[in-house]
Structure 1
Amino acid sequence: MNNTAPKNIVSLSEYDKARKVGSETISLLNECRDMAAELLSKSLSKMLDRIEESLFELAEKALNHDVRNVYLEARGKALAHRDAIESEFRRNFLQGFNKRLVAPDAASKKLDFSSLELSLVDTDDFEATLAVSDIAKRLKNNCNDELMALDYRVSELMHKTDLADDDNPLGPKAICEAFKDACNQLESNVNVKLIILKQFDQLVSDDIQGVYKNLNTHLVNRNVIPVITPDMLRRRASGSPMPRPAPRQQERLDDKVETVGDQPPQAQATEQELFTTLQQLLTRNDAGMAAMLGGLSQNAFAPTSNGGFPELNNSVLDVLSSMQQGNFGAVALNGAGLDLAQAGSGNILRDVKQAVLGQGATQIDGMTIDIVAMLFDYIFDDRQIPDKMKALIGRLQIPVLKVAMLDKKFFSKKSHPARQLLDTLALAALGWNEAEGEGDRLYCKIDDIIHRILSEFEENFDVFESARLDLEAFLAEEERLAQERAESSAKVIYEREWLQMAKSTVEEEVQRRIATGDMPEVIGQFLSLQWGNLLLSVYVKDGVESDNWRNALQTMDDLIWSVQPKRSPEERMRLVSLLPPMLKKLEAALEINQTPKESREKFFAALVQCHASAIKSGMPGKAPEPMPVIAAEPIFTHPPLLVNVTSPVAEAKELVPVEQLGAPPVGASSFELDLIASANARQLNDDVAAIQERAPVVTSVQAADPYDAMAANLKRGAWIEFRHDDSAMRAKLAWVSPMKNMYLFTNRQGLNAMSISLEGLAAKLRSGSAVIVEESALVDRAVSSMLDALKSGAAA
């Protein structure tokens, strides 16, 4: 019998013997191995599809003949041995996976650079090994979060809490070494191998992050540490020992995999585990609670055998429903009764606990109240929610408590209707200002939503869903109206930016011609100070695709040509026929610019001299005459127009009311006012692509520091809190200009529009006078905060 296993199959029997791992773990590792091998093989195949073109481009760009030949050789070898490389890589990866499972420490000791054995290593292999080490380091940095999460989960499956980075059978080192060894199929020198390794680094590394993401998702779906907290990742990054998590323990909600529909008991139990974890942590934090509960162990709070918790006592539910309707007669606080109004001014749940414990509530019910009380502690302490909005949301304490008692999945299921309503309420309150008062439409709407929950909720959660949908529809309409109001403010900035772009285009056309230097100085001054304004007028009114724009450029070129030496009779005849219409156009430009009569006369006199010189210089036997020089005093002394029109946009490093940007510049001429009026007639977002072409700002800004990048990457709808002394103002990013260097902020209704430059916003973020308001889900933040606080208390 032939016992030789196929090359592409890796047996885990040795690992099973060494670790005594269960069949479920073996199956999971097999699944991860096969998934990774399949995804990596596809990525390698894509790389080899692209490598021919990539290496050919490098060869063409190479200045050195020998370097060019090495690139071409590498290209030929990669194509010739493609099939062998692909099959060998898969075989090496699977074999390496097996070796690391059997003896994970052996992989990291494969080459000890500090030992004397280094001298025995082949020089070429040493260079390739160094290259692999560098590539693996870069991969680790690129895939940092996904890789650390995968390390954590694999170490749990391998029962090795101190698993080194290089020992992860799915890690970058394992992948890179498998490819390095596959490159042996190239049968070439080390330079060719290093080039192919470099291509692997450039063309495959981005795909590997996706491979790790898929592996993590698969393991989460298989319930291998479904949630990994930032604290766990920090431990991993710092090299601290990783505490071994309890099976399927829920730590926080960011990556929670939700279950829907009819579920088996095991799946139902999984959804309860976050609640169980909260209860266990709460117990550890309160040493007196164990005594109060008669020495009950933590197992007293675990789900029942069928995956659920004991049903809520009807008398407890009746008491809570009575309180929800405003009847607090059964509740006493130091001899004084509570009423529903107090639920809006502070946390009443710990007082409520005393009432329900006397109505047959279980220990689990008591701890549920404690957990919901902690949730509302967080809400009342959250500085992102205005106080009056907290008062409204706080009135939901009793309904939310009922929800948590009826359904423990409230804490772990992101799609729970009650939880989604709380998140939506908090998001809606984000931009609300206390100054708007209780008569504001949003305040009245939320007040109406709260009343609906208090009056209608019994045991069916549908009322939360319908309330949320109603609120979201209201918010969508509010957003639509806000966008309409903000559009007029955005148009003001757009017009100024568009004028700036038009001015830049004209200046480029003029300066490109002046830069040749082959013209009299008087012509250069005329073009920059007079003809440029005519071009600007044509650009604004007719656009760059118009005949008028083309004719204006042609007239500028004709003027420049007219003052060049005329060496043939044909050129001189053309000049004679060209002059009359050209002179009329030049006169029109001077008229538009309101040029004084004296300056006009001087210019045309100088132009006559230029033309005479051009004719004389071109006559046979005549030596070329130097270009005419202007007299000591320039003919045109006033600066180009529209300087003041665009400068407020460029200089807005502080928040500037948009009305100021929209005001005409002081002392504006009729010409300027006419151009501004023409710009105002444009539709918002006309020629956005043309404007964006003149915007290298974002690329250069992001290379500066994190605050520049933070400002450049802000998306519409983001909320910023601007702080000044003891006051603070929240504003929403309503619009970003096409050039990405001007940001429009408004309030929730799209009013009080303020504008600031990208540079100015980055400076405020850097100084702390502007802070990005976090928009993550309220309950996520609250539960995460509860977990952190309880874990800290338990550790203490």
Structure 2
Amino acid sequence: MQKEGKVVPLAAAIDRGGRTPLPCLPVLLLQVRDKAALQLRQGLQDLFANADDTLFEMADKAFDRCDQHLYFEAMRDLRLKRKSIERGFLDIFYDTFARIGQVDLLAHLVEPGKLRSKAQLERAAAIDGMVARVLSRDGLALQQLGLRLQALLDRPLHEQHNPLGPAALCGYFLDAGCNLGVGLRVKLILLKLFERYVLRDIDVIYGEANQLLAAAGVLPELQPAPRRRAEDRRMSVRRGPANPGQEVGADAAGQAFFASVQTLLAPLRGQFAPRLQAVAAAQPISTADLLRLLSHLQHYVPATHEADDFELDQQLEQLLLRVSVRSGTRRRIAVADEDMINLVGLLFAFIHDDDNLPASLRALLARLHIPLLKVALLDRGLFSRASHPARRLLNEIAGAAIGWECGGEGLRDNLHLRVERIVQRLLDDFAEDVGLFAELLDDFLAFGQDERRRNELLEQRTRDAEEGRARALQARQQVQQLLNQRLRGRVLPLVVVQMLVQAWSQVLLLAWLKQGEASQAWRDAVQTLDLLLASITPPHEPQALLQQVPGLLKALRDGLASVALDSLATREFFLQLERLHLRACAAGASQPDGADQPLDEVLVGEDIVLAIAEEPACAPRHFADGQAALLRQVQRMRIGTWIEVRDEEGPLRCKLVARIDSSDRLVFANRTGMKVCEWSSASLAQALHRGEVRVLDDGLLFERALAAALDGLRL
């Protein structure tokens, strides 16, 4: 293991702990300590590996932006301090062993005088619950370990002095993470993760420690505590029925389906081992023997990057010839088994040619040909039950990976690696227990749920951003239209035009975006604009103007304050406005002092544009009448539809995440939820017509493959 910076490898840390002066500790105790340290280190690594996903899930479920920010900051802080927490935990653990029996390890957790705040009370309650659950499961093993440590040390060792007690371990974790800048909620989440990934397997530490001490003669008469392992429960499910052969063909619906298909499969018979089947005396091998042959071949399935020269029919023919030579009897495959081989072969031929799937995924799924064939031989229900675990696993993998981009070097992301591990696990471990598919399906669904939730959150952010952009564009166009209606073609004071275009337009935008065009705020802002223009246009009755000006000035000040216009600019505008009002009142009479200074005026001769207009990336073009069907297809396209875009850099797969009706934009994002392109309805229909884009079929893979196989047989 290479060193990264100042991170000390675990072996070095254990050696360092071993060099601590411990004149009173026997070698057996050091062995117990070191074995426990390895297990605890692994548990902490699992904790931190899953903390990101857990905190991301909490951020996803949070309704408040502040809560989301809290969880995202906690994720960042945890990544930065992960190594120091791991090292701190082990350092405290080693130090505690050095002083075993000398200090009360629970004192800082249970002293009532220190539990004053609500946060400390909640933390203590959480720890008490965790400790109680561990003691209820593994209390006997812990008690035996305490007795053996007491005998080994030859002095009393109270429960609170045991460095491997659950409360002591919680204390190490809290002390190691004391500098973590997170709040109580995040600390409680981390404690739950500590229980799940460290305390969950504490019985392994207790069991190994007891076994080591008992083998060395420390209280060997104590009866070992019963092992509690989640793997034991999973193995009992995985082992299934005692006689797997009883499950073969047990599904009546599956049997009926296969019987109805056998007539269609008859023309395909004779493709496997034809030289042997030509001999009338050839005896069929049993399904169980065929399964053993397939299990043998399963371990020789080549990797995806190797040459594809592995033909199942040729491999079976060679094995049958070898079996015939050894037994001295001509052997062949039974008719029903051969029909099943042909049917599954048709399914995988469809998968091999299905360009709706990325090429890298097709190469991976092709390696599952033999495992799926064995499932079909064992359980006809594969074809009649949509909930069959092998069938669902194939569908879930295909559905999750449809967004892979073909031909790229960056395919080996977490999803790709997970699918590779599933395929390899089936090739290595699958014999005749279909329960392995159920186990892998559960694991993949849990993994897919986390990734899907993460991607959906990013998609929602993309969708919100695009909808906000469209709404802002619509508001800007409305304000531009209003200003042009009021100002275009008129000669107005420059100071008024500048204020309306630069500042009051923002007041109008804010009112439209926040409350809408029909709101009172919008109507008030428009009315203020009209009053302002009317107030500076001579002639005016002085009395009428004096009645309007106070309300107008208040409305202007409130509006400009809402958009935080610079105070100096605001003061200068109102000084100029006062001169304009005085000029309007004079209306040709002798003007008061200071009102005769010329004011710059401007002719608004062109349309006012508040900002560069944002047009869709692909603006609508001329659309031929003959392409109306494609336009209707685009208009009916549902959110979540996958497409493939062909360009010079290679195919790009993306899915529809937002449809902006106000600006006729369809926004597409990649598998991670990041926006990659957008079209109008017409331009996307034209791209489909030219073949630059195609819609992918993301239906269930097994169902599509089976339907295609049956259609091909009926031709």
TM-score (norm: length of structure 1): 0.45
Q: Which has the higher contact order (CA 8 A, sep 6+)?
A: 2
